[in-house]
Amino acid sequence: MKQDFDVIILGGGAAGLMCAMEAGKRRRRVVVLERAGRMGKKILISGGGRCNFTNLRCQPENFISANPHFAKSALAAYIPADFISLVEKHGIPYHEKTLGQLFCDGSAEEIVNMLQAECREAGVQTLTGIAVTKVEHAKDFAVYAGQDEFHAPALVVATGGLSIPKMGATSFGYDLARRFGLKIMETRPALVPFVLNAEDCRHYCDLSGVSAEVITAIGRQSFREKMLFTHRGLSGPAILQISSYWKLSTSITIDLAPERDLTAPLRNGRRRDLPALKAAFRSVLPQRFADRWLDLHPTDGWNNHALAELERLAHNWVITPETTEGYAKAEVTVGGVDTGELSAKTMESRKVPGLYFIGEVVDVTGHLGGFNFQWAWASGFCAGQAV
């Protein structure tokens, strides 16, 4: 059956639903085609089920892209306060956690319900369980799914990245972009735990569950948050954040005691022996990790030079992960549709008029903490104003 619309949106996630409701408010006839059995599946599992829906401290510097300037226009057009006012309009209680992160007090389902309510009010048609088999473009776009044909002059691709395939993630959006001649920046898992090599795992993986506040760094990029040992390697916010910058065979540097002088009690005190050293490390680090660290990095002596070297090592632990936990455990995907192919103001393809790409499918990736949702809202809003 053939159906005509003004806008077809592929993907009923955060970006797709935002675009749909904004286009609907402008009296566009909009249909959202979602492959899964319900809208917003990834929203529902985000933030431990409470949805870290934005971040008060959102800046362009919180995003990774081959073009660091691309996201600025959209992020300025739709700011965190705009989404907060929407949340408040629907009476959804929320709270700030650390570092500007905003979470629902209740469930992420409230955010999905809010977006769907806005779509209904704007006259948007949302269809789930739609497996698109073909997309064609002549004078308009034709999307085929089973016996159904959907036609519209505007097609918005909001199909997400490769993260969490069990939630239905596929390469559909990238494949479609390539078919239309758009360039794709190389993709890799981001916000993902590290897997250590066999030797390092033998040394540290039995510390699974132990955590410490650290600074992780690759080059000039660094994050100060918690690191967590796992049965396969390293995780926790500090590791997830730096993982977005990691490439195979790259080393990361970890400061185990930010702004702390671990060996000061020995240099300034009377005792310079292993019990005193262990006591000093245990006062800052979890006991099991402190003891393990000193077992694996024994001091060369007790003079000031040897203690200074031990201090330097503790602030510069260099480790080379073997790999990451991959897309199965990655929260997002780095890379995607090259921003050079798109208008920064509208997300429209420069090569194919009427074709738009928004959200995670684009080469814009946020840090951990609500930034990827803010990109979804902002890019969806901008496309919704333009279609």
Looking up residue 76, the CATH number of its domain turns out to be 3.50.50.60
Q: Give the DSSP H or E segment for 29.
A: none
Structural domain harbouring 360:
2-189+331-386
Query: Looking at the structure, do residues 66 and 177 belong to the same domain, yes or no?
Result: yes
Q: State how beta strands 365-366 and 134-137 pair.
A: unpaired
- Where a domain ends, among 280, 303, 324? 324
Query: Looking at the structure, do residues 311 and 356 belong to the same domain, yes or no?
Result: no
Distance, CA of 340 to CA of 230 (rounded, Å): 39
What is the pLDDT, as a whole number, of residue 165?
86
Query: Looking at the structure, do residues 26 and 54 belong to the same domain, yes or no?
Result: yes
Distance, CA of 12 to CA of 2 (rounded, Å): 21
Query: Looking at the structure, do residues 304 and 252 belong to the same domain, yes or no?
Result: yes
Burial 74-112 (b: 16+ CB within 10 A, else e): bbebbebeebbebbeeeebebeeeeebbbbbeeebebbb
Domain total in the chain: 2
Query: Looking at the structure, do residues 272 and 348 belong to the same domain, yes or no?
Result: no
Distance, CA of 105 to CA of 188 (rounded, Å): 32
Distance, CA of 342 to CA of 105 (rounded, Å): 37
Distance, CA of 92 to CA of 89 (rounded, Å): 8
Query: Looking at the structure, do residues 148 and 18 belong to the same domain, yes or no?
Result: yes
pTM for this prediction:
0.95
Looking up residue 316, the CATH number of its domain turns out to be 2.40.30.10
> 99: which 2 tokens?
């570092």
- Where a domain ends, among 290, 324, 358? 324
Query: Looking at the structure, do residues 235 and 166 belong to the same domain, yes or no?
Result: no
- Are 205 and 232 in contact by the 8 Å Cβ rule? The answer is yes
Burial 354-370 (b: 16+ CB within 10 A, else e): bbbbbbbbbbbbbbbbb
At 213 the three-state DSSP class reads strand
Query: Looking at the structure, do residues 22 and 126 belong to the same domain, yes or no?
Result: yes
Got the DSSP string for 349-378? BSSSTTEEE-GGGBS-EEPTTTHHHHHHHH
> 190: which 2 tokens?
């981001």
> Checking phi first, is residue 146 left (phi over 0); if not, alpha (psi -120 to 50) or beta?
left
Residue type, position 255, single letter: D
Residues lower than pLDDT 70 in the chain: none
At 95 the three-state DSSP class reads strand
What is the pLDDT, as a whole number, of residue 4?
98
Looking from the CA of 153 toward its CB, the CA atoms found within 13 Å total 6
Query: Looking at the structure, do residues 147 and 233 belong to the same domain, yes or no?
Result: no
Helices (H), 34-155: 41-45, 72-77, 80-89, 109-121
Burial 63-73 (b: 16+ CB within 10 A, else e): bbbbeeebbeb
What is the pLDDT, as a whole number, of residue 142?
98
Alpha-carbon dihedral 368, 371, 375, 381, rounded to 10 degrees: 140
- Where a domain ends, among 272, 296, 324? 324
